[in-house]
Amino acid sequence: MEYPFMNIEKKWQDIWQEKRIFNPEDKSEKQKYYVLSMFPYPSGALHMGHVSNYSIGDAISRLKLMQGYNVMQPMGYDAFGLPAENFAIKHHSHPRITTEENIRIMQKQFNSIGLGFDWEREISTCRPNYYKWGQWFFKKMYEKGLAYKKSSFVNWCDDCQTVLANEQVEDGTCWRCDSVVRQKELEQWFFKITDYAEELLDFSKVIDWPERVKTMQTNWIGKSFGTNIHFKLENSDEILKVFTTRPDTIFGCTFMAIPPEHPLVIKWLKEEANSEMQKFCDKVMNEDKISRTAEDATKEGIFSGRFAINPVNGKKVQIWITNYVLMDYGTGAVMAVPAHDQRDFEFAKKYDIPMIIVIQNPEKTLELDEMEMAYVKPGILVNSAQFDDIDSVASKKVISDWMKENDMGEQTITYRLRDWGVSRQRYWGNPIPVIYCEDCGTVLVPDEELPILLPENVQIGKTTKNPLLSVDNWVNVLCPKCNKPARRETDTMDTFVDSSWYFARYTDAHNEKKPFDEEIADYWLPVDQYIGGIEHACMHLLYARFFHKFMRDIKLVKSDEPFARLLTQGMVTKDGAKMSKSKGNIIDPQYIIDRYGSDTLRVFMLFASPPEKDVEWSDEGVKGAFRFLNRIWRIFEENLYFIKSNMNNSTSESIASNMKKLRFSTHYTIKKVVEDSDKKMQFNTAIAQIMEHLNNIYAIKDFEKLNYHEKYIYAESCTILPKLLYIFAPHVSEELWKMLGNNELVHETGLPKFNPDFLKKDEINYVVQIMGKVRGQFDISVNASQEEIKKIALNIPNVQKYIEGKEIKKIIVVHRKLVSIVAK
RNA sequence: GCGAAAGUGGCGGAAUUGGUAGACGCGCUGGACUUAGAAUCCAGUGGGAGUUAUCCUGUAGGGGUUCAAAUCCCCUCUUUCGCACCA
């Protein structure tokens, strides 16, 4: 007989809801614990990845609930964005309608899993009461000079008809649709995340984040120390600034390399018609990003006919327009030192540009005509005037200091991180609260007019242009300042803006006066445990940190970081590949829940592997989890009366050794499960320990014959099960707890405590090693002296066999573990 | 190419202040129950030798440190992830 999970799960879900155990008060004497799993896009169906993610969050929050914390675990929907718009186009509907419909469907699924979410705090980013505050934040950004508009080359996806942030371009293709991203010049809104670059590199305020994520963000921000060197243009007062991390190679500079996008190039082309140069520039700029930045892309260039003057020695160097220099890094210009930079080397070889060796290899003297690649390692300076013979590493500072003194340049820091482009040319997003007036320029929409509602009557999918442009009565407004006809901004915000502050909105989800109340937010924030996929390392997690620091600076929050602890969970795979529709390897969680119940699915997910690793789906594994819950159920079903009547009759009778072992197992299991779940979040080993304990219980057969004390020990070994299992399988645990006659809910009585006395052993098992190989073992009283232990070890017949005729050089006794004999 | 992490039975995974490798689960084998199956229970299960006792071998491969190495050090290989003309 299978245990009746169907009745049990629904019943307890209703009771939890009725007793409001997941609806914490905002002000409480209890210490708070805020558990958050990344909210889903409302696709209309929960998939295994969600279940795996939320099982982890729920296990943590149930544990914290038992430990007496005031636990908040909210949930909502990341509802704006392109997929919703495309979904609506496909179904000939409106994204608002399809999204709300999808949310209703997902809500039902959420309910059937019995996750401890506080639904009273639910948010959906596409609802006006939420996106109003996104617009408000945009205004604040603008007022603080952190939101600005500029024309720039942006990543453009033709398929999605919109701009992509750098983070959303993967290998030159769109992260959503995989089509090739090209560069397009557009007027765009940006958030000045670079103002916070330095602080974002500082992880000292987070409590526990995976090193991997910190490294990824650090690399993404890409701080590098270098020098800006000023090259004068020949016959001109203009200065070409270059950024270099190798000022030690300045005397080896033989040409300058700049990209076609460089302002100087644009100016030159305006000044004089040069068809060859124009042709080259057009060609490079029209190339898509993937081929332009491909690993094997050939370096190309054209001589501009102009020269720059090397400030350190007055030498004339040619200025080349090239395809391998990036406009948006450093100063967008490179001093090329072909002898000591591989890229410049290849370019110089191809166009026959001279090279000068300025760093000598101390191990093997470099000869120009023998060089097959650039020498990029440190060495001794040569051909560098007064700096000759200095070590190249040390010379960096010497040379840049000297240049600063002589106004040739200055030390500087450059970041790879760019400002965050937030404009999207799509309908289903948060409108940017800006109005353009011919007289007043860029005007912010007044607070009392927020939220700017998205118009309903949009013909999405019918136009290749920004859909909002087609809604005349929405676009055309009166200027808030001068009341003359003006036009709305028709771009909407990147959905990552919506998800950059949602964790704070949950603390006060229904506030109509402000994004959230500062005091309430201060009680809950930061999030104690955040759980989500690693794929957000350089996007969502970086943006959210930036936003949080911004919110701190405008006095909305007090903490420095949004997420104190971060757990990046693995994905659910089947046959080694991520579950996806296109691969056809999807298992519907609802099907599993209907067949085995939510508790089984959770136990399977948490047991299959540690949370940060991928979970390989296994039908047999699910059955195994189900079997485990059934085994627990059966113990209670068959022996309920015995357990109940022996729960409280502890006596002082002496007990048999197998019962001592069972008592040890009981208390060790409490210790191990709590430790593994709480600090390490290794639920797989915690569950394994419960399984092992269950095996130990099953090993006791004729318990009717036990004495009272032993019966009590048996009963105790069973009664801890529902309490520990509650972390992973809460429904069945509540039911068993109730069967034992308890009227309180499981978490209300707290975690069981182990008695350290019962973990002490009378005897210790020692292993005997001879030259590192195990040759015997013995049990001995914990009180035995070193001498006794050695003596017994040496007397084991099998040990005798190996030491016979040999000289014992040393005997090492490892406390409570082993005896190691060195014999030759 | 650079950087990071990892590599343990047929499978998922345990064990790293160095101290009995393979916990727990899946699968498999044998047995009990059953007319039979399912379910359940019991026993076994890294490879090899042996009737047992026990022995040899074994944590990607090679070398080293140590009484003792999955764990520490060096080299090589493989996989995964991130970055990738960033000056």
Span A590-606, pLDDT tens digits? 999 999 999 999 999 99
Residue A214, pLDDT > 80, answer yes
Pairing mode, strands A423-424 and A162-164 = unpaired
Band of residue A457 on the pLDDT scale cut at 50, 70, 90: confident
CA of A742 to C1' of B40 (A): 29
d(CA A370, CA A360): 14
Termini Cα distance of chain A: 62
d(CA A536, CA A41): 14
**Which residues are CB-contacts of A456 (< 8 A; sequence separation ≥ 6)?**
A94, A96
CA of A152 to C1' of B21 (A): 60
For chain A, give every domain's residue range: 29-135+496-593, 223-415, 763-823
Selection from A208, A85, A183, A51 nearest residue A679 by Cα? A208
Taking residue A391's Cβ as centre, other Cβ atoms within 10 Å add up to 15
Task: Report whether A777 contacts A683 (CB < 8 A).
Answer: no
CA of A801 to C1' of B29 (A): 36
Residue A816, pLDDT > 90, answer no
What is the nearest nucleotide to A628, using C1' and CA? B25
Q: What is residue A180's DSSP assignment?
A: B
CA of A793 to C1' of B69 (A): 23
Band of residue A657 on the pLDDT scale cut at 50, 70, 90: confident
CA of A773 to C1' of B18 (A): 15
Range in A35-39, A451-455, A795-799 with the lowest mean pLDDT: A795-799
d(CA A800, CA A808): 11
Question: Length of chain A in residues, anyone?
Answer: 824
Name the closest residue (CA) to the C1' of nucleotide B15: A685
d(CA A321, CA A589): 57
- CATH architecture, domain defined by A29-135+496-593: 3-Layer(aba) Sandwich (3.40)
Q: Beta carbon of A207 within 7 Å of strand B?
A: no
Q: Beta carbon of A775 within 7 Å of strand B?
A: yes
pLDDT in tens, A97-118: 999 999 999 999 999 999 999 9
d(CA A329, CA A418): 9
Write the CATH number of the domain with boundaries A223-415.
Answer: 3.90.740.10
Please calculate the CA angle A575-A577-A581 and round it to the nearest 5 degrees. Answer: 105
Report the pLDDT averaged over residues A212-227.
90
CA of A375 to C1' of B87 (A): 15
Residue A589, pLDDT > 90, answer yes
Q: What is the per-residue pLDDT for A641? A: 92
Percentage of chain A with pLDDT > 90? 63
d(CA A600, CA A566): 26
Mean residue pLDDT of chain A comes to 90
Q: Beta carbon of A323 within 7 Å of strand B?
A: yes
Q: Beta carbon of A243 within 7 Å of strand B?
A: yes
Report the pLDDT averaged over residues A687-715.
90
Q: Beta carbon of A702 within 7 Å of strand B?
A: no
Range in A551-565, A644-658, A675-689 with the lowest mean pLDDT: A644-658
Residue A563, pLDDT > 70, answer yes
Residues 402-461 of A with CB under 7 A from strand B: 414, 416
Residues 25-64 of A with CB under 7 A from strand B: none
Question: Looking at this protein, which amino acid is placed at residue A656?
Answer: A
Q: Beta carbon of A332 within 7 Å of strand B?
A: yes
Q: Beta carbon of A376 within 7 Å of strand B?
A: no
Q: Beta carbon of A699 within 7 Å of strand B?
A: yes
d(CA A60, CA A677): 8
Taking residue A72's Cβ as centre, other Cβ atoms within 10 Å add up to 27
Band of residue A87 on the pLDDT scale cut at 50, 70, 90: confident
Residue A159, pLDDT > 70, answer yes
Q: Beta carbon of A773 within 7 Å of strand B?
A: yes
CA of A359 to C1' of B71 (A): 44
Residue A464, pLDDT > 70, answer no
Band of residue A293 on the pLDDT scale cut at 50, 70, 90: low
Name the closest residue (CA) to the C1' of nucleotide B38: A1
CA of A673 to C1' of B19 (A): 25
Selection from A422, A436, A494, A427 nearest residue A454 by Cα? A427
What is the nearest nucleotide to A694, using C1' and CA? B24
Q: Beta carbon of A175 within 7 Å of strand B?
A: no
Residue A782, pLDDT > 90, answer no
Residues 510-549 of A with CB under 7 A from strand B: 534-535, 538
What is the nearest nucleotide to A328, using C1' and CA? B86
Residue A180, pLDDT > 80, answer no
Band of residue A174 on the pLDDT scale cut at 50, 70, 90: confident
Residue A824, pLDDT > 80, answer no
d(CA A518, CA A511): 11
Q: Is the model more confident about A222 or about A290?
A: A222
Task: Report whether A751 contacts A67 (CB < 8 A).
Answer: yes
Band of residue A290 on the pLDDT scale cut at 50, 70, 90: low
Question: Looking at this protein, which amino acid is placed at residue A426?
Answer: R
What is the nearest nucleotide to A415, using C1' and CA? B86
Residue A55, pLDDT > 90, answer yes
Residues 633-652 of A with CB under 7 A from strand B: 634
Task: Report whether A258 contacts A447 (CB < 8 A).
Answer: no
- Report which listed range, A128-137, A346-355, A614-623, is most confident: A128-137
Pairing mode, strands A147-157 and A162-164 = antiparallel
Q: Which two tokens mark A229?
A: 């060197």
pLDDT in tens, A314-324: 999 999 999 88
What is the nearest nucleotide to A822, using C1' and CA? B67
d(CA A711, CA A643): 8
Task: Report whether A709 contacts A655 (CB < 8 A).
Answer: yes
Q: Which two tokens mark A61?
A: 């929050």
Residue A695, pLDDT > 90, answer yes
Q: What are phi and psi of A349, to 5 degrees?
A: -60, -45
Name the closest residue (CA) to the C1' of nucleotide B42: A699
d(CA A745, CA A750): 10
Report the pLDDT averaged over residues A212-218.
90
Q: Beta carbon of A324 within 7 Å of strand B?
A: yes
- Report which listed range, A484-493, A534-543, A771-780, is most confident: A484-493
d(CA A95, CA A126): 10
Q: Beta carbon of A253 within 7 Å of strand B?
A: no
d(CA A60, CA A69): 11
Residues 285-304 of A with CB under 7 A from strand B: 292-295, 297, 299
ipTM above 0.90, yes or no: yes
- How far, in Å, are A137, A155, A292 from residue A167 at the CA level? 22, 10, 18
d(CA A739, CA A37): 33
CA of A609 to C1' of B60 (A): 22
Q: What are phi and psi of A575, to 5 degrees?
A: 55, 35
Q: Is the model more confident about A434 or about A179?
A: A434
Q: What is the per-residue pLDDT for A716? A: 94
CA of A37 to C1' of B82 (A): 23
Q: What is the per-residue pLDDT for A192? A: 94
Selection from A302, A290, A395, A300 nearest residue A340 by Cα? A395
Q: Which two tokens mark A774?
A: 């195990």
Report the pLDDT averaged over residues A574-585.
79
Band of residue A295 on the pLDDT scale cut at 50, 70, 90: low
Q: What is the per-residue pLDDT for A461? A: 67
Task: Report whether A531 contacts A53 (CB < 8 A).
Answer: yes
Residue A376, pLDDT > 90, answer no
Q: What is the per-residue pLDDT for A175? A: 72
Q: Beta carbon of A343 within 7 Å of strand B?
A: yes
Name the closest residue (CA) to the C1' of nucleotide B41: A698
Band of residue A740 on the pLDDT scale cut at 50, 70, 90: very high
Selection from A597, A661, A657, A659 nearest residue A629 by Cα? A597
* Strand B bases within 7 angstroms of protein beta carbons: 3-5, 11-15, 19-21, 23-27, 39-42, 53-56, 67-69, 81-87
CB-based burial, A576-598: b 16+ in 10 Å, e otherwise:
eeebeeeeebbbebbebbeebbb
CA A605 to chain centre: 20
d(CA A308, CA A242): 11
What is the nearest nucleotide to A696, using C1' and CA? B24
Domain A763-823, CATH number (from 3.10.20.590, 1.10.540.10, 3.75.10.10, 3.40.309.10): 3.10.20.590
Q: What is the per-residue pLDDT for A534? A: 86
Q: What is the per-residue pLDDT for A463? A: 59
What is the nearest nucleotide to A226, using C1' and CA? B87
CA of A83 to C1' of B70 (A): 46
